[in-house]
């Protein structure tokens, strides 16, 4: 008796591309006159139906309409390969290759693993919270649900204070994580999003300049810097918050972030209001607790 044979391993595909699910008769025989049916979990879930040289679509699942084809060039050698076009996240999972007389043939099971990888994650500031600044990392367009990890300057993992995810109508995932940055954190802070299936990674970094102590005041600088873009323009915003405390006074710390596009300063923004246009520096001095502005280099 002839048997149906699958690939013996999972088949991988990227969202939007085409994929072929292998299945063949062993020993080889002409399959032109056979009834071939590719299904999902149940016989009623027909992905593609072929019989006596014709493709039959009456029982085909709507999700696969105009996206499947049984490879004709291999039928004479017993090949029953199925091509799926424009792969979607919903195509992920098990497929069963069957031939009409189930008593004469076994079933071949093929697993399709679908994946999608997004661009570098987007970093933004969420505001002052719990003695520090809330930094957000967001990335969309992944499948399956990816991992989101924070790393410090020593590449050690840092815990997220919150993490959420959602799925759009196409089945792609968006993930968002948050971390609280305090004055004790210094150096590059990285957000990495990794595919749990392909292990592909996307990463963006936030450089923390650290604290500068002088006789007049203290400040803390943050600057967004996408990974691999050290020589490119980068962006930030401008705000102040009570950050350090001692027995005599509350230190006011300036977190400054600037946005330059093609070398041209665009704007700086405080959390609650627009401050200025151009390139400036702001110092907060604890003796008088008054801001002093100076013009920066443009």
Q: How confident is the model at residue 102 (pLDDT cuts 50, 70, 90)?
A: low
pLDDT in tens, 185-228: 667 889 999 999 999 999 999 876 654 333 233 333 444 434 44
Which of 108, 105, 139 minimizes the C-alpha distance to 121? 139
Q: Are 84 and 12 in contact (CB under 8 A)?
A: no
pLDDT in tens, 56-84: 999 999 999 999 999 999 999 999 999 99
Considering 29-43, 138-152, 173-187, 241-255, the range whose residues carry the highest mean pLDDT is 138-152
Determine whether domain 3-115 maps to CATH 2.60.40.10. yes
State the average pLDDT over residues 256-263. Answer: 34
The conformation of residue 72, written as its DSSP 8-state character, comes to S
Distance CA 103, CA 239 (A): 74
State the average pLDDT over residues 166-176. Answer: 97
Q: Are 69 and 80 in contact (CB under 8 A)?
A: no
Distance CA 54, CA 102 (A): 20
> CATH number of 122-295: 3.40.50.150, 2.30.30.140, 3.40.50.720, 2.60.40.10?
2.60.40.10
**pLDDT above 80: residue 132:** yes
Q: Are 135 and 125 in contact (CB under 8 A)?
A: yes
Distance CA 267, CA 289 (A): 24
31 φ, ψ (degrees, to nearest 5):
-110, 10
**Would the CATH topology of 3-115 be identical to that of 122-295?**
yes
Token readout for 33 is 């006159």
CB atoms within 10 A of CB 107: 14
pLDDT reported for residue 86: 98
**pLDDT above 90: residue 12:** yes
pLDDT reported for residue 246: 30
Which of 239, 254, 238 minimizes the C-alpha distance to 286? 254
**pLDDT above 90: residue 39:** yes
pLDDT reported for residue 235: 38
**The pTM is what?**
0.69
- In this predicted structure, which of 32-41, 105-114, 270-279 has the lowest mean pLDDT? 270-279
Burial 158-192 (b: 16+ CB within 10 A, else e): bebeeeeeeeeeebbbbbbbbbbbebebeebbbbb
Of residues 295 and 193, which shows the higher confidence score?
193
Domain ranges in the chain are 3-115, 122-295
């Amino acid at each position: 008796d002839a048997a149906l044979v699958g690939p013996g391993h999972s088949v991988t595909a990227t969202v939007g591309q085409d994929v072929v699910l292998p299945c063949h008769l062993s020993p080889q025989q002409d399959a032109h006159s056979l009834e071939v049916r590719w299904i999902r979990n149940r016989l009623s879930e027909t992905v593609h139906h072929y019989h006596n040289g014709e493709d039959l679509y009456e029982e085909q699942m709507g999700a696969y309409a105009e996206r499947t084809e049984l490879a004709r060039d291999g039928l004479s050698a017993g090949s029953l390969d199925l091509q799926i076009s424009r792969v979607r996240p919903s195509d992920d999972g098990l497929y069963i290759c069957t031939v009409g007389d189930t008593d004469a043939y076994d079933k071949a099971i093929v697993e399709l693993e679908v994946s999608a990888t997004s661009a570098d994650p987007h970093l933004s500031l969420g505001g002052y919270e719990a003695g520090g600044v809330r930094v957000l990392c967001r990335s969309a367009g992944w499948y399956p649900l990816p991992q989101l990890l924070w790393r410090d300057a020593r590449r050690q993992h840092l815990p997220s204070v919150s993490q959420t995810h959602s799925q759009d109508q196409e089945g792609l995932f968006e993930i968002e994580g948050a971390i609280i940055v305090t004055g004790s954190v210094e150096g590059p802070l990285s957000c990495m999003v990794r595919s749990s299936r392909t292990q592909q990674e996307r990463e963006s970094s936030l450089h923390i300049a650290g604290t500068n102590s002088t006789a007049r005041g203290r400040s803390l600088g943050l600057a967004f810097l996408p990974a691999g873009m050290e020589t490119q323009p980068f962006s930030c915003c401008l705000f102040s918050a009570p950050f350090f405390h001692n027995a005599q006074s509350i230190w006011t710390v300036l977190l400054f972030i600037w946005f330059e596009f093609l070398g041209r300063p665009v704007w700086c923004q405080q959390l609650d209001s627009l401050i200025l246009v151009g390139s400036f520096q702001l110092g907060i001095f604890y003796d008088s607790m008054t801001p002093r502005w100076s013009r920066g280099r443009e």
